[in-house]
Amino acid sequence: MKMRGAGLVDIRLWQATIANGRLLLASRVEHRGSMVIRQFAALLTVFLLSACASTYQNQIVTAPTSKLIRGKAVVIATPRNGAYDRKEYQSSGRQTALAVQAAFARYSDSVVVSSRCTSVTCLEAEGVGDYEYLVVPEILHWEDRNTEWSGIPDRVEIKLVISNARSKVQLASIVILGKSKWATFGGDHPQDLLPHPIKQFVDSLY
């Protein structure tokens, strides 16, 4: 009888050990599973943030050596329309000029876009004595894609040159590159990439 009792105790201890082992194993599997889920969620968040954000890159050509003076008059040339793969994007030149005008309008009440001029030489002839700063935008690349269907982003590349109208000295120049977000859901175009980087650059000049 004593041996039977001892055997029952041993069996119960063995069953309890197995049960504890199963619980420990299940706990470890659950912990690993939750870690995998958290890692996947983190990666998914990073992917969605990158897919939903446009990216920009600035290449300084001529670094400004002094700040521009607030309130001084500015005249802006209208660049030639951008083109890609033999397709000219109508009004892209005017859209670029207007984006530049909006950025400078925060610092002067006299900011004019010249629809006739595309170069600094033309601006110098047109605005002698009337303007302090001459701004010449140039479209280097303009690519409008059906990103929501193709996954290929819109791309834009423009150059901005700012000169002093009186001394004819070049004050600053920059090349701005923009690439649209992947998750556009329609409606995005290269011109939508212009306001943010242009504003940041103009803000840095004052």
Q: What pLDDT digit, counting tens, does each position of 27-85 carry?
A: 655 555 555 455 544 443 433 444 456 789 999 999 999 999 999 999 999 999 999 98
Distance of alpha carbon 44 from alpha carbon 147, whole angstroms:
20
What 3-state class would DSSP assign to 152? coil
pTM tops 0.75: no
> What is the predicted pLDDT for the residue at 85?
86
Pick the CATH number of 54-205 from 3.40.50, 3.30.420, 1.20.272, 3.30.70: 3.40.50
Alpha-carbon distance of 94 to 117, in angstroms, equals 11
Domain boundary assignment for the chain:
1-51, 54-205
Cα separation, 171 vs 98, in Å, equals: 21
- Contact between 104 and 76 under an 8 Å Cβ cutoff? The reply is yes
List the one residue out of 83, 62, 58 whose CA is nearest residue 176.
58
